[in-house]
């Protein structure tokens, strides 16, 4: 048993949450039981994740996509009411980390993705406060676009959407998990061969072609599965908690 307050304080400090200007609150979003024995991690605090957490009698839920996003309707009704009611009735705390979890050099989504893909990290770009939200570096070997696409598919278990903005083989890459397609211009300005993220927009097609950069959209969920797992394993080991990762698959 560990107190909820200790877990939240430790994790807030670990992820330097005060350094970020984010679109949602980071840290504790919904308060549940004061003592935690079993913590669940998942990408998004959907109803499906809450129901699984209730089934396995979790005390707290650690997620990347929580609630209370800037600009959303603040009224607690409908889908939002159902989710909050289920959490509160079960006494499950919701702990969420958005940008601080993308950017963390060890447990972050970008760092964890780079590790799985064998990318050598050389630096970052797209600043938020003092932190880089995106990373760049080198592949372990130069690859054709098709070979990189196959590698992304093998690791992420999902076929990437590729726009061939140039005919070059790929050695240098930039990457940012999630919906970071708008950083394609920053990646091109760094002279990178390719940029990898989760989602694409209509304008991304033209941007990739006009900027002359390979673009790969590999899935928002698929690219953001790893940070919360690395953090969940670390927290559970640090505090001696029971830990379960629940993957609610999402094709987007």
Q: Does 178 bind Zn ion (CB under 5 A)?
A: yes
Q: Does 160 bind Zn ion (CB under 5 A)?
A: no
Which one of the spans 44-52, 79-87, 134-142, 176-184 is the region binding Zn ion (CB under 5 A)? 176-184
Instruction: Name the residue nearer to Zn ion (CB basis): 172 or 197.
Output: 197
Q: What is the smallest separation between the CB atom of 138 and Zn ion, expressed in angstroms? A: 25
Instruction: Name the residue nearer to Zn ion (CB basis): 100 or 178.
Output: 178
Which one of the spans 54-62, 73-81, 178-186, 202-210 is the region binding Zn ion (CB under 5 A)? 178-186
Which one of the spans 139-147, 155-163, 218-226, 232-240 is the region binding Zn ion (CB under 5 A)? 218-226
Task: Map the footprint of Zn ion across residues 54-83, applying CB under 5 A.
Answer: none
How crowded is the C-beta side of 100, counted as CA atoms within 13 Å?
Answer: 22
Which one of the spans 14-22, 152-160, 180-188, 217-225 is the region binding Zn ion (CB under 5 A)? 217-225
Q: What is the smallest separation between the CB atom of 222 and Zn ion, expressed in angstroms? A: 11
Measuring CA to CA, how many Å separate 61 from each of 21, 30, 38, 97, 155?
Answer: 23, 10, 9, 11, 26
Q: What is the smallest separation between the CB atom of 248 and Zn ion, expressed in angstroms? A: 14
Total site size for Zn ion, rule CB under 5 A: 2
Q: Does 124 bind Zn ion (CB under 5 A)?
A: no
Instruction: Name the residue nearer to Zn ion (CB basis): 10 or 161.
Output: 161
Instruction: Name the residue nearer to Zn ion (CB basis): 28 or 176.
Output: 176
For residues 144 and 10, give the distance between their C-alpha atoms in angstroms, rounded to a whole number: 43
The token duo for 240 is: 């001696």
Q: What is the DSSP string of the chain?
A: -EEHHHHHHHHHHHTTGGG---SS--EEEE---SEESEEEEEEE--HHHHHHHHHTT-SEEEEEE-S--TTS-----HHHHHHHHHHHHHT-EEEE-SHHHHH-TTTSHHHHHHHHHT-EEEEEEEEETTEEEEEEEEEEEEE-HHHHHHHHHHHHTSPPEEE--SS--EEEEEE--SS-GGGHHHHHHTT-SEEEES---HHHHHHHHHHT-EEEE--HHHHTSHHHHHHHHHHHHHHT-EEEE-------
Q: What is the smallest separation between the CB atom of 109 and Zn ion, expressed in angstroms? A: 8
Q: What is the smallest separation between the CB atom of 77 and Zn ion, expressed in angstroms? A: 24
Instruction: Name the residue nearer to Zn ion (CB basis): 64 or 170.
Output: 64
Instruction: Name the residue nearer to Zn ion (CB basis): 178 or 219.
Output: 178
Contact footprint for Zn ion (CB under 5 A): 178, 224
């Amino acid at each position: 048993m560990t107190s909820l307050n200790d877990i939240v304080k430790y994790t807030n400090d670990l992820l330097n949450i005060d350094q970020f200007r984010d679109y949602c609150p980071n840290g504790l979003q919904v308060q549940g039981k004061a003592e935690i024995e079993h913590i669940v991690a998942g990408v998004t605090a959907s109803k499906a994740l809450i129901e699984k957490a209730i089934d396995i009698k979790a005390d707290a839920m650690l997620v990347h996509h929580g609630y209370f996003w800037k600009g959303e309707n603040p009224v607690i009704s409908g889908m939002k009411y159902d989710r909050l009611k289920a959490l509160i009735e079960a006494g499950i705390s919701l702990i969420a980390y958005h940008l601080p979890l993308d950017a963390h050099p060890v447990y972050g989504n970008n760092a964890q993705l780079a590790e799985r893909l064998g990318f050598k990290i050389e630096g970052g770009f797209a600043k938020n406060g003092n932190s880089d939200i995106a990373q760049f570096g080198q592949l372990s070997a130069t690859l054709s676009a098709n070979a990189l696409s196959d590698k992304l598919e093998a690791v992420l278990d999902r076929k990437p959407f590729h726009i061939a903005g140039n005919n070059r083989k790929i050695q240098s890459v930039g990457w940012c998990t999630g919906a970071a397609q708008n950083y394609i211009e920053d990646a091109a300005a760094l002279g990178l061969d390719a940029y990898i993220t989760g989602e694409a927009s209509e304008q991304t097609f033209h941007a990739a072609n006009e900027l002359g950069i390979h673009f790969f959209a590999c899935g928002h969920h698929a690219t953001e599965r790893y940070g919360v797992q690395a953090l969940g394993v670390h927290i559970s080991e640090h505090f001696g908690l029971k830990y379960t990762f629940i993957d609610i698959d999402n094709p987007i």
